[in-house]
Amino acid sequence: MDQERIGRLRRAMRAAKLDALVLRLPENLVMAMGVWPMNGYSHGLFTADEGPVLLIAPSCENEEMDGAWVREIEWFVWPRLDMDDPAEVLQRALRQAAKAHRLNRARIGYEGSFEAIAPPHNAGEVLAPCESTIAFLKSILPSARWTDATDLLHAQRAQKTASEIARLRLTHRVADFGLKRFHKAVRPGVTEAELASIVYSECLNRGVRLKGVRHVNVFPQISSGPNAHRAWRPNVSTGRRRLRDGEIALLELAVCVDGFWADVTRVAVAGRPSQVQKDAFHAVVTAQQAAMDCMKAGVPASRPHEVATKILCQAGFADDIVHLTGHGLGFRYHEPEPFLMPGNRQRLKAGHVCSVEPGLYNRAWGGIRLEDNVVVRRDGVEVLTKAPKKL
Q: What is the CATH number of the domain that holds 119?
A: 3.40.350.10
- The answer, yes or no, to whether residue 138 has pLDDT greater than 90, is yes
Is residue 73, in this structure, part of any structural domain at all? Answer: yes
Q: Are residues 222 and 123 in the same domain?
A: no
- The strand pairing partners of 372, in sequence order, are 356
- Cβ atoms 373, 172 nearer than 8 A: yes
Is residue 271, in this structure, part of any structural domain at all? Answer: yes
**Mean pLDDT of the region 38-58:** 96
Per-residue pLDDT, 128: 87
Counting residues of the chain whose pLDDT is more than 70, the rounded percentage is 100
Q: Are residues 40 and 169 in the same domain?
A: no
Q: Are residues 222 and 333 in the same domain?
A: yes
In 3D space, the residue among 119, 92, 108, 94 whose CA is nearest the CA of residue 145 turns out to be 108
Q: Are residues 300 and 337 in the same domain?
A: yes
Q: Are residues 124 and 188 in the same domain?
A: no
Is residue 189, in this structure, part of any structural domain at all? Answer: yes
- The answer, yes or no, to whether residue 235 has pLDDT greater than 90, is no
Range of the domain at 343: 162-383
Q: Are residues 212 and 88 in the same domain?
A: no
Residue by residue, DSSP assigns 22-54 as EE-SHHHHHHHHS---SSS--EEEEETTTEEEE
What's the whole-model pTM score?
Answer: 0.96
Helix and strand totals (H; E) in the chain: 9, 16
Q: Are residues 273 and 296 in the same domain?
A: yes
Is residue 388, in this structure, part of any structural domain at all? Answer: no
- 157, 189, 221 - which closes a domain: 157
Residue 143, classed as helix, strand or coil, is: coil
Of the two residues 235 and 206, the one the predictor is more confident about is 206
pLDDT tens sequence across 190-201: 999 999 999 999
Candidate from 121-125, 270-274, 287-291 with smallest mean pLDDT: 121-125
Q: In angstroms, rounded to a whole number, what is the distance separating the alpha carbons of residues 279 and 91?
A: 62
Is residue 169, in this structure, part of any structural domain at all? Answer: yes
Tell me which DSSP letter residue 331 carries. Answer: S
- 98, 123, 157 - which closes a domain: 157
Give the CATH number for residue 183: 3.90.230.10
Per-residue pLDDT, 163: 98
Written as one letter, the residue type at 336 is P
- Tell me how many domains the chain contains: 2
CB-count exposure of residue 125 (10 Å: 0-12, 13-18, 19+) = exposed
pLDDT tens sequence across 140-178: 999 999 999 999 999 999 999 999 999 999 999 999 999
Per-residue pLDDT, 185: 98
Among the ranges 78-82, 128-132, 255-259, which has the highest mean pLDDT value?
255-259
Q: How confident is the model at residue 315 (pLDDT cuts 50, 70, 90)?
A: very high
Is residue 391, in this structure, part of any structural domain at all? Answer: no
Q: Are residues 8 and 96 in the same domain?
A: yes
Is residue 390, in this structure, part of any structural domain at all? Answer: no
- The answer, yes or no, to whether residue 136 has pLDDT greater than 90, is yes
Per-residue pLDDT, 258: 97
Q: Are residues 311 and 185 in the same domain?
A: yes
Q: Are residues 202 and 122 in the same domain?
A: no
Q: Are residues 227 and 365 in the same domain?
A: yes
Q: How confident is the model at residue 129 (pLDDT cuts 50, 70, 90)?
A: confident
Is residue 43, in this structure, part of any structural domain at all? Answer: yes
- The strand pairing partners of 264, in sequence order, are 253
- 128, 157, 186 - which closes a domain: 157
pLDDT tens sequence across 347-370: 999 999 999 999 999 999 999 999
Handedness of CA 154, 155, 159, 164 (dihedral sign): negative
Task: State phi, psi for 375 to the nearest 5 degrees.
Answer: -105, 125
- The answer, yes or no, to whether residue 71 has pLDDT greater than 90, is no
Q: Are residues 192 and 255 in the same domain?
A: yes
